[in-house]
Amino acid sequence: MELLRLLFGVSGRIGRGAFWLATLVSLICLALSAVAATTLVHGFVASTLGRRAPVDWMADEAWVTLAVLILALIGLTFAWSLVAVQVKRWHDRDKTWLWLFVGLLPLVGPCWVMIECGLAPGVIGATRFDRQ
């Protein structure tokens, strides 16, 4: 399966292996962009409080704002990837994208998603979500 379609497309189905790989890649990229944005903001705040920023350009508000916006876009991109991968996995279980909302249930939701999407096998044979 093409990498871009795997990470960002919402049609079709994927198996458990592709689900775990894409989820892991997306979570790592999301975490790295969050850490980078936090580091930039921390460096800027430190420089505004009179402490020395880790690098000189962190003292410039425009550069820090631009960098944080770029990192936020990267983060949103990989957050979408998590949604798209889960939609395809629900399709493999012959369920609609609306099952995404199960993950929002406190405590039970994430466990349910991990069991259904990460551990349970997909439907054998054709489903209503197969590409025609």
Indicate the domain borders of the chain.
3-119
CA distance 116 to 89: 9
Q: In sequence order, what are the residues at sequence separation of 6 or more whose Cβ sits closer than 8 angstroms to the Cβ of residue 63?
A: 57
Nearest to 30 by CA among 87, 67, 77, 62: 77
Name the phi and psi angles at 120, rounded to 5: -75, 140
* This prediction's pTM: 0.81
Residues 6+ positions from 127 with CB-CB distance below 8 Å: 13, 91, 92, 94
- Residue 102: what pLDDT? 94
Q: pLDDT, tens digit, for every residue of 82-127?
A: 999 999 999 999 999 999 999 999 999 999 999 999 999 999 988 8
**What is the arithmetic mean of pLDDT over 55-78?**
81
**pLDDT for position 110:** 92
